[in-house]
Structure 1
Amino acid sequence: MKLKAGLLTTVAIGAILAGCSGNKADSAEEGLLSDGVLAVGVTAGPHEDIVNEVKKLAAEEGLEIKVISFSDFVQPNTALVEGELDINSFQTGTFLDTVVEESGYDLAKIEPTISIPMGIYSEVYDDVSEIKEGDTIGIPNSPTQEGRALQLFEEAGLITLPEGSGQEVTISDIVENSLKLDFIASEAAQLPAQLQDLGAAGINSNFALDAGLNPKESGIFMENIDNLEQANYIVSRTEDKDDEAIAQFVEYYTSDEIKQFIEEEFKGALVPSW
């Protein structure tokens, strides 16, 4: 795989212009590589691991990538809008749609990356059928992920949600809760650490993996990854979506080398979506 001549030119220009502006958003007219580096935001765990592999692949052909890791789902989009990042790679399309609707951020989906199942985890039970009346259940408190977790518990047969509802549902929308489960919403990244104080929790697999929980071995109930509708996406500011550096990043990310890394490293716990 060879870096396009136009991108090499952009890199060369970037070396000359580096330091002229500390704000990437202000220098968008000169291209995202005006400072010679493509800044990519990720969340800790699989997204960070994969983009670090992309970084190695890109470095072989002269594209420098700076990987910036975050511990929550809010900061990567804020940092992107404020120009601290050039792109990010951590969120589902549904999550981004909700963020854009609620915040007014002008962000664009570029390319699907991976699909990551959510699972139910417990340090007390080996099967969801063992969950007892009155147990405290943890779920993520971020937009769409709360609803996604509730749909997972409905799929497991523990609660009933309004017919036809999607990932916009919240705890207050639960129609039937025969076990009187006490659902509490927490920061998604904190749920693995809180698991010792919970009957069970719905945890995104990227945070589970980061905490040493293998979804295939530790999850007591998992989403069917073949049926996941929402892939994760590479995201940029809308004004930059056609920047050549992003196209090159996508080319590296969706390469056979990265696909092989994902399959060997995560062993089916997450899968490529391209």
Structure 2
Amino acid sequence: MRNVLKSVSILATAGLALSLTACGSDSSSSSGSGPDAALTVIASPTPHAQILDYVKKNLADAAGLKLEVKVVTDYVTPNTAVQDGSADANYFQHVPYLEDFNKKKGTDIVSVGAVHLEPLGLYSKKVKAVTELANGATVGLPNDTTNEGRALKLLADNDVIKLKDGVGTAATPADVVSNPKNLKWKELEAAQLPRSLPDLDAAVINGNYAIEAGLKPAGDAIVLEKAAGNPYANILAVKKGKESDPRVKKLIELLQGDKVKQYIDETFKGSVVPAS
């Protein structure tokens, strides 16, 4: 996946501690651990960093929290940054993705709490309903393990395909047992799917990347995940052992508070929804 700083530079993971750019911060220091040190949180641009910036500008001072937000657009750097200590926390992922990452990479990152859900959606520039997909149409899927399974489950839940019994969100294209429209799969990095959409018949796109690309999940998706009972709420995460850091506790309290919930509802209008 590409490690790109939003509107700043190409980010090399190896140079993370030196090259991450703070969003809404004038501090260039690395993350600290003292109670008065700034809490450094690495996040995806939208809506994660946007929500954190709201907290920083409107709520953090009154709570006695110094907050530094650093932005990347890939799904690997935030966890490696937390693991190696160049960031205190991250905010970009859901628990199934985190568990899969920990298993594959040998990291020990844990969830502090859920903040919001970005419904996954099927988008198309060529059809207005899933029933209009032509025989042999090409559908883009995110190629990371948890989101690909989630995407296939979305299609299965809407009777586009049928998956092997019991496979759930661990599904891959090999688990498709019925494909009436003979759909073809194009597996791409999640961040690439919005700009690849014109070349595809349809694509299942993560909510944050859809919003960044100017899509409105609540109105533009031809199929959209339901929020009720959804296990894919995005979380604040830290390296195991840091859950009790008073700064982390303050931040999750703010992120789960009524003011942030109201901000999410008013700003994203159903394209992002509070986790509870």
Q: Does residue 1:196 correspond to 2:201, yes or no?
A: no
Q: Give the Cα–Cα distance (whole angstroms) in 2 for the partners of residues 23 and 51 of structure 1.
A: 18
Partner-residue secondary structure (3-state), 1:125: coil
Q: Give the Cα–Cα distance (whole angstroms) in 2 for the partners of residues 41 and 244 of structure 1.
A: 18
Could you say which residue in structure 1 is the equivalent of 2:70? 68
Q: Does residue 1:144 correspond to 2:146, yes or no?
A: yes
Matches for 1:106-125 after TM superposition, within 5 Å:
106-125=108-127
Amino acid at match of 2:103: E
Could you say which residue in structure 1 is the equivalent of 2:179? 177
Amino acid at match of 2:44: T
8 Å CA contact 1:73, 1:142 repeated in 2:
no
Could you say which residue in structure 2 is the equivalent of 1:255? 257
Amino acid at match of 2:46: G
Amino acid at match of 1:54: V
8 Å CA contact 2:35, 2:246 repeated in 1:
no
8 Å CA contact 2:40, 2:69 repeated in 1:
yes
Q: How many residues align?
A: 247
Q: Give the Cα–Cα distance (whole angstroms) in 1 for the partners of residues 249 and 262 of structure 2.
A: 20
Amino acid at match of 2:199: D
Partner-residue secondary structure (3-state), 1:151: helix
Structure 2 counterpart of 1:242, from 237, 241, 244? 244
**Superposition CA RMSD, Å:** 1.6
Could you say which residue in structure 1 is the equivalent of 2:45? 44
Structure 1 residues 123-160: Cα deviation after superposition (integer angstroms, max 9, x where no partner): 00000000011111101111200000011111222211
Could you say which residue in structure 1 is the equivalent of 2:8? none
- TM normalised by structure 2 equals 0.85
Partner-residue secondary structure (3-state), 2:260: helix
Question: Cα distance, 1:78 vs. partner?
Answer: 0.9
Could you say if the C-alpha distance between residues 32 and 212 of structure 1 is closer, same or farther in structure 2, counting changes exceeding 3 Å?
A: farther
Amino acid at match of 2:248: I
Unaligned runs of 5+ in 2: 1-28
Could you say which residue in structure 2 is the equivalent of 1:213? 215
Q: Give the Cα–Cα distance (whole angstroms) in 2 for the partners of residues 32 and 98 of structure 1.
A: 31
Could you say which residue in structure 2 is the equivalent of 1:10? none
- TM normalised by structure 1 equals 0.86
Amino acid at match of 2:52: V
Matches for 1:159-174 after TM superposition, within 5 Å:
159-174=161-176
Structure 2 counterpart of 1:89, from 78, 88, 91? 91
Could you say if the C-alpha distance between residues 186 and 245 of structure 1 is closer, same or farther in structure 2, counting changes exceeding 3 Å?
A: same
Could you say which residue in structure 1 is the equivalent of 2:60? 58
Could you say if the C-alpha distance between residues 67 and 23 of structure 1 is closer, same or farther in structure 2, counting changes exceeding 3 Å?
A: closer
Partner-residue secondary structure (3-state), 1:111: strand
Could you say which residue in structure 2 is the equivalent of 1:100? 102
Question: Cα distance, 1:227 vs. partner?
Answer: 3.5
